[in-house]
């Protein structure tokens, strides 16, 4: 682990996004992207797409510009965020930024394998991709300006709709959600729909049966779950500000034919956004603005006020809304600037590197690209701690840094180095603490182990790194493997260190990036007794030519070393004595999870 002069720790990190995109130039377009503008607006008001909410933006889209003669394209594969399964027939709409709004440009449909290509403008304008599919919440990503010629991996994977609840306009409907916490299951409302409160896409009153779909968006473990970016805009002045989230939700309503419905103007439905899992309700603000994501503007827009309300055993921000779509409980803050630079191992500055600053003590993310001199600056929350990641293809590096009351400059450039693989572990509210354990041949007839007490291992000239051992939130823990110099079987295991729940119920997710080939593993799909404390996720098998093959294992075990597993074709894993597990906090650990405290 490299230490900066200021005492900041450097760790390697690769943000593994399953829906990978590549920019390529091609004459005249083609593929599923075509070059034609979408038939409807990009804000989801197209009634032919039932899963899209009606009226996702108060500002109508402008006239679609003509496609240039030379067309660039994005390509990718749409996947389920939790399982990695491909999502066929997803609709992808792309818009280009112009005068603080996004203009519809092109549309594509994913094939049976979830793959798509879509045209993009030949310019440096910011881009917005809006991805929808039946049964899933929409995925919305904004790509920063200055992206021409850049290979990107920015589209989020889609979250499944949590539930569909049936109702009728003849009576009020309360949509309840049941969640599992450290204190057991708790049920609370997420939406109250008044009787006779719906209209159709033409604005006419609707009577009859309908279905409400909702998806909870808790970016505690992964800010990429949040649609768009953590930025709000004042449409009247064009002023953009940074926001900190306390939880979000998407609501959609359809009739029996699958046609989208919306709320009538004076209906005043009540929305309850569950408090994000890492937020302490005793220090959370009593009220916050209620923001709506406007895909035409590409920003969150202030649309009301939500009050922190206790609903049984849980807490939520509750307020009235005026339309379906994506809603977010946030506060705006006056940002300070974090600056730095990115270089390669030879000290050469690197342009067009993706830079992400994720809050560790607040829920938020700032993103940008390095300029021609390899420099960056991003707005961040004062008095906070951040994970700052620089990512370029398979190269990555991360800085953990504290932010005070003023601007901060990282004294040394983040240094990118190639990696053969990265594995990213995230989990939910309970168990409180999960750990990465990675085993492999040390080249001397023995075996090494990487885990919280031994985060860096050198084999030959290769250094393997585990980033910060996260015990106060939901990860990520990221293992970086630059290359493999020793043949053999390398094993990746997740251990339950503390908490009352199980690995499978958390839910726990591992994302493996093996030289750009992305695999997502969910503990809910593992075999064996889910009450056991170890989840053997996968093996990496390195042959004599040092070629790497991923072997899924997906089994629970009572052995941290996973020595009981015999993976077909590769023989039993070597037996390893378990190490004494001690961390810097005392055991047994209380079921009370340390939550994010909100400063006064």
| Domain map (residue ranges) of the chain | 22-143, 163-333, 334-418, 421-572
Q: What are the tens digits of pLDDT across the range 291-327?
A: 999 988 889 999 999 999 999 888 999 999 999 999 9
pLDDT at 432: 75
pLDDT at residue 84 tops 50? yes
- Nearest Cα neighbor of 519 from 408, 584, 446, 424 is 424
pLDDT at 312: 86
Q: Say which residue, 369 or 501, is predicted with more confidence.
A: 369
pLDDT at 244: 96
- CATH fold, domain 334-418, is Immunoglobulin-like (2.60.40)
d(CA 453, CA 435): 11
pLDDT at 333: 96
The winner for highest mean pLDDT among 139-153, 405-419, 584-598 is 405-419
pLDDT at residue 28 tops 60? no
Distance of CA 78 to the CA centre of its chain: 14
What number is the average pLDDT over the span 83-103?
A: 89
Mean pLDDT of the chain: 79
pTM, whole model, 2 decimals? 0.76
pLDDT at residue 37 tops 60? no
d(CA 326, CA 47): 17
pLDDT at 145: 79
DSSP E strands, 113-157: 115-120, 127-132, 139-143
pLDDT at 205: 96
**pLDDT band at residue 482, thresholds of 50, 70 and 90?**
confident
pLDDT at 350: 94
Q: What are the tens digits of pLDDT across the range 105-136?
A: 999 999 999 989 899 888 888 888 899 999 99
d(CA 8, CA 468): 12
pLDDT at 71: 64
Q: Is residue 262 within a helix (H) or strand (E), and if so which, with residue range? A: strand 260-263
| Terminal C-alpha separation, the chain | 34
What order do you get walking across the sheet with 115-120 strand by strand?
22-27, 70-77, 115-120
d(CA 507, CA 119): 36
d(CA 424, CA 469): 12
Q: What are the tens digits of pLDDT across the range 495-545?
A: 998 877 888 887 788 988 888 777 889 888 899 998 999 999 999 999 999
Adjacent-strand bridge partners of 82: none
pLDDT at 473: 57
pLDDT at 480: 82
pLDDT at 394: 63
CATH architecture of 421-572: Sandwich (2.60)
Q: What are the tens digits of pLDDT across the range 128-184?
A: 889 999 999 989 888 877 766 555 544 558 889 988 999 999 999 999 998 765 556
pLDDT at 572: 37
Measured CA distances, 298 to 141, 150, 332, 334 (Å) = 9, 20, 17, 20
The percentage of residues in the chain with a pLDDT greater than 70, rounded to a whole number, is 77
Asked if 497 and 425 count as a contact pair (C-beta separation under 8 A), the reply is no
What number is the average pLDDT over the span 13-34?
A: 32
DSSP, collapsed to helix, strand or coil, labels residue 141 as strand
Adjacent-strand bridge partners of 272: 318
The winner for highest mean pLDDT among 114-128, 200-214, 346-360, 557-571 is 200-214
- CATH fold, domain 22-143, is Immunoglobulin-like (2.60.40)
Distance of CA 331 to the CA centre of its chain: 20
How do strand 408-409 and strand 336-344 relate by DSSP bridges?
parallel
The percentage of residues in the chain with a pLDDT greater than 90, rounded to a whole number, is 46
Q: Which residues contact 271 (CB under 8 A, 6 or more apart)?
A: 190, 191, 249, 251, 290, 306, 318, 319, 320, 321, 327
pLDDT at 186: 80
pLDDT at residue 278 tops 80? yes
- Nearest Cα neighbor of 402 from 414, 385, 389 is 385
- Nearest Cα neighbor of 97 from 72, 57, 52, 62 is 62
Residue with tokens 């209209």: 199
d(CA 333, CA 331): 7
What number is the average pLDDT over the span 218-242?
A: 89
pLDDT at 249: 96
pLDDT at residue 42 tops 50? no
Q: Say which residue, 465 or 378, is predicted with more confidence.
A: 378
The winner for highest mean pLDDT among 416-420, 446-450, 504-508 is 446-450
pLDDT at residue 562 tops 60? no
pLDDT at residue 55 tops 70? no
Domains 334-418 and 421-572 alike in fold: no
How do strand 336-344 and strand 414-418 relate by DSSP bridges?
parallel
**pLDDT band at residue 11, thresholds of 50, 70 and 90?**
very low
pLDDT at 85: 87
Q: Which residues contact 428 (CB under 8 A, 6 or more apart)?
A: 221, 277, 474, 506, 507, 508
- Nearest Cα neighbor of 59 from 288, 299, 249, 330 is 299
Give me the phi and psi of 376, to 5 degrees please. -145, 160
What number is the average pLDDT over the span 83-105?
A: 89
pLDDT at residue 560 tops 70? no
């Amino acid at each position: 682990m490299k230490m900066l002069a200021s005492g900041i720790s450097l760790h390697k990190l690769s943000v593994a996004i399953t829906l990978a995109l590549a920019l390529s130039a091609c004459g005249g377009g083609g593929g599923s992207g075509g070059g034609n503008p979408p038939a409807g607006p990009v804000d989801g008001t197209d009634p032919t797409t039932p899963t899209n909410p009606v009226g996702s933006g108060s500002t109508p889209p402008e006239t679609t510009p003509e496609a240039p003669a030379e067309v660039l394209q994005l390509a990718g594969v749409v996947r389920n965020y939790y399982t990695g399964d491909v999502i066929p027939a997803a609709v992808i709409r792309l818009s280009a930024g112009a005068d603080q709004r996004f203009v519809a440009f092109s549309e594509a449909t994913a094939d049976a394998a979830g793959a798509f290509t879509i045209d993009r403008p030949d310019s440096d304008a910011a881009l917005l991709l809006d991805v929808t599919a039946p049964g899933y919440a929409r995925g919305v990503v904004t790509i920063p300006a200055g992206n021409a010629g850049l290979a990107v991996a920015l589209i989020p994977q889609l979250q499944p709709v949590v539930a569909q609840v049936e109702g009728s306009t003849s009576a009020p409907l309360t949509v309840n959600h049941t969640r599992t916490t450290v204190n057991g299951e708790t049920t609370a409302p997420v939406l109250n729909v008044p009787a006779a409160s719906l209209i159709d896409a033409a604005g006419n009153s609707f009577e009859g049966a309908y279905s409400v779909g909702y998806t909870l968006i808790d970016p505690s473990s992964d800010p990429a779950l949040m649609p768009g970016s953590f930025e709000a805009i004042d449409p009247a002045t064009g002023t953009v500000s940074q926001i900190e989230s306390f939880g979000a939700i998407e609501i959609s309503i359809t009739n029996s034919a699958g046609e989208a419905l919306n709320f009538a103007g004076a209906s005043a439905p009540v929305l309850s956004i569950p408090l994000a899992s890492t937020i302490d309700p005793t220090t959370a603000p009593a009220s916050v603005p209620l923001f709506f994501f406007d895909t035409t503007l590409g920003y969150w827009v202030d649309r009301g006020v939500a009050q922190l309300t206790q609903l049984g055993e849980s807490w939520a921000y509750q307020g009235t809304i005026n339309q379906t779509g994506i809603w977010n409980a946030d506060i705006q803050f006056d940002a300070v600037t974090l600056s730095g630079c990115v270089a390669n191992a030879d000290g050469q500055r690197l342009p067009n590197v993706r830079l992400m600053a994720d809050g560790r003590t607040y829920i938020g993310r700032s993103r940008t690209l390095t300029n021609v001199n390899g420099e960056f600056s991003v707005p961040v929350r004062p008095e906070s701690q951040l994970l700052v990641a620089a990512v370029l293809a398979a190269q990555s590096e991360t800085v953990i840094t504290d932010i005070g009351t003023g601007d901060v400059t990282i004294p040394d450039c983040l240094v990118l180095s190639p990696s053969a693989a990265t594995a990213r572990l995230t989990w939910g509210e309970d168990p409180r603490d999960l750990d990465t354990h990675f085993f492999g041949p040390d080249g001397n007839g023995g075996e090494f182990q990487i885990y919280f007490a031994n985060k860096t291992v050198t084999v030959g000239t290769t250094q393997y790194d585990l980033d910060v051992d996260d015990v106060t939130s939901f990860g990520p823990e990221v293992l970086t493997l630059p290359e493999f110099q020793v043949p053999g079987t390398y094993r990746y295991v997740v251990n339950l260190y503390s908490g009352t729940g199980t690995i499978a119920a958390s839910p726990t997710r591992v994302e493996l990036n093996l030289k750009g080939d992305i695999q997502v593993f969910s503990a809910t799909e593992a075999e064996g007794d889910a009450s056991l404390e170890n989840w053997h996720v996968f093996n990496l098998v390195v042959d004599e030519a040092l070629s790497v093959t991923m072997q899924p294992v997906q089994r629970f075990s009572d052995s941290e070393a996973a020595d009981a597993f015999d993976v077909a074709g590769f023989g039993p894993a070597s037996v390893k004595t378990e190490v004494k597990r001690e961390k810097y906090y005392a055991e047994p650990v209380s079921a009370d999870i340390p939550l994010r405290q909100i400063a006064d």
